[in-house]
Amino acid sequence: MTKRGMLFVLSGPSGVGKGTVRKALFEQEDINFAYSISMTTRQPRDGEVDGKDYFFVTKDQFKKAIDQGQMLEYAQYVDNFYGTPLKYVNDTLDSGQDVFLEIDVNGATQVREKMPEGILIFLTPPDLLELKSRLINRGTEPIEVIEKRIEQAKQEILMMKHYDYAVVNDKIENAVENIRQIINVEHLQVKQVYSDYEQMLTINEKGEAK
C-alpha cells in the first residue's frame, strides 16, 4: 500500500514574502514535493501564466467550485477569492507524494481544521517596518491598501501560536533552507517510518509475506 504523502502549508502575514520564498524553494532542483496551484479571481499580473502561477477564474466559477465542495480552503483577500482545489491535494497525497501549499492565514486555519495532519509553517517578517517597505517597494498597491494590509498583518502575526514552526524571512536563502529542514525532520519522525519497518518484518527470508 502506498504511504500517503505529507501536507506542508506555508503561510504568514501578507507581504512577508511567502510567494518569493515559495518560488525560490521550487527553483531548487532536488525538490520532491508538489506545489498545489491555487485558484484565484484576481487578474493575472505581468508575466503570470494561467495554470502555472494560478488558475485564473471568474467569481462565478469560483463560487460554483465552493458550492460543489471542490475547495480544500478558500479566503477572500482584498476583494478577490483565493483557494486550494481539493482534488489535486488528495490525489497527490494518495499517490505518496508530499504537497506544498502557499496560502494566507485564513486558509491555513481551515486546513488545520480539515486536515489536522498538515504541518503549518509560519513565515514571519524580521520586523513590521520592513514589511511596510516591502509592500511599498513592490509598488503594486496604493498607500491606503498598504495601510490596510499592515493592520491586517499585525493581527495575523498573533496567529503564529497556532502553527507548528516559525521561519523568519530575514534572507530568502535562509528561509528556504529552514523550510527544507522542517520537511526533512518531519519525515524522520518515527510515526512516518514505522510502517515501513512493520511491513519489512512481515516479509520472510524468501521475500514472501508472512
**Residue 101: other Cβ atoms inside 10 A:** 25
Neighbours of 99 (CB within 10 A): 24
The verdict on whether residue 133 carries a ligand-binding annotation is no
Binding of ligand 5GP at residue 104 (CB under 6 A)?
yes
Least Å distance, CB 196 to ligand 5GP, is: 32
Task: In whole angstroms, give the CA distance from residue 205 to residue 180.
Answer: 37
Rg for the chain (alpha carbons), in Å? 19
Under rule CB under 6 A, residue 124 binds ligand 5GP: no
H-run or E-run covering 123: strand 119-124
Q: Does 42 bind ligand 5GP (CB under 6 A)?
A: yes
Interface residue with ligand 5GP, options 6, 25, 34, 103 (CB under 6 A): 103
Element (H, E) at 99: strand 98-102
88 binds ligand 5GP, rule: CB under 6 A: no
Which of 8, 25, 62, 83 contacts ligand 5GP by CB under 6 A? 83
75 binds ligand 5GP (CB under 6 A): yes
164-203 binders of ligand 5GP (CB under 6 A): none
Which of 81, 131, 90 shows the shortest CA–CA distance to 7? 90
Q: What is the contact surface with ligand 5GP in residues (CB under 6 A)?
A: 14, 18-19, 38, 42, 73, 75, 77, 82-84, 102-104, 106-107
